[in-house]
Amino acid sequence: MVCLIIIIHGILHTCTLKLTNNILSFYILTRVLYNSTFVITQLCKEFWIEVFRKQIDKLQTNHRGVFVLKDLELRWLTRFPNNQENARVTAIQLLAFPCGMLRGALANLGIPSVVSCDFLTDGQNMASCSFNVKIK
């Protein structure tokens, strides 16, 4: 079961890198991007709106290459039941898609990064999650 989850996660991650390459080709041709802070800000404003129809709720940084993007109500996770392990495992698999999109977007813009995600610690709302982006 664990091996299957890892394989599915890898396949989703690879597919989203390719998808993001196609989506961002338009943005690369029409905009000049400067530094990683500006790029992440634009991804939170424009790219996230294109994909999820809303802006990221909160963006934090330590100004050393680590960004935390918080989405307090990710649409894809709103119907998952709270406090159930099966739902949590499925939601984590589903979160591989936006992680891959963020990583692919940054890679296409020449910024290598590592993206991970987790649920926010309140435990009440399954749709609240954070994405940790570390610029290499």
Dmax (CA) of the chain: 45
Give me the numbers of helices (H) and strands (E) for the chain, helices first please: 5, 4
Task: Provide the pLDDT for residue 114.
Answer: 93
**At 8, which helix (H) or strand (E)?**
helix 2-30
Distance CA 126, CA 123 (A): 7
What was the pLDDT predicted at 27? Answer: 62
pTM over 0.85: no
Note the pLDDT of residue 99.
Answer: 92
d(CA 125, CA 31): 36
Q: Please give the Cα distance from 80 to 108 (Å, whole number).
A: 32
Q: What is the pLDDT of residue 131?
A: 93
Which secondary structure element, helix H or strand E, spans residue 24, and what is its range? helix 2-30
pLDDT in tens, the chain (136 residues): 667 777 777 777 777 877 777 777 666 655 555 577 888 888 888 888 888 888 899 999 888 889 999 998 888 888 877 777 788 888 888 888 899 999 988 888 888 899 999 887 655 677 888 999 998 8
CATH 3.30.1490.20 fits 2-135, yes or no: no
Please give the pLDDT value at position 68: 94
User: What residues does 119 pair with on adjacent strands?
Assistant: 129
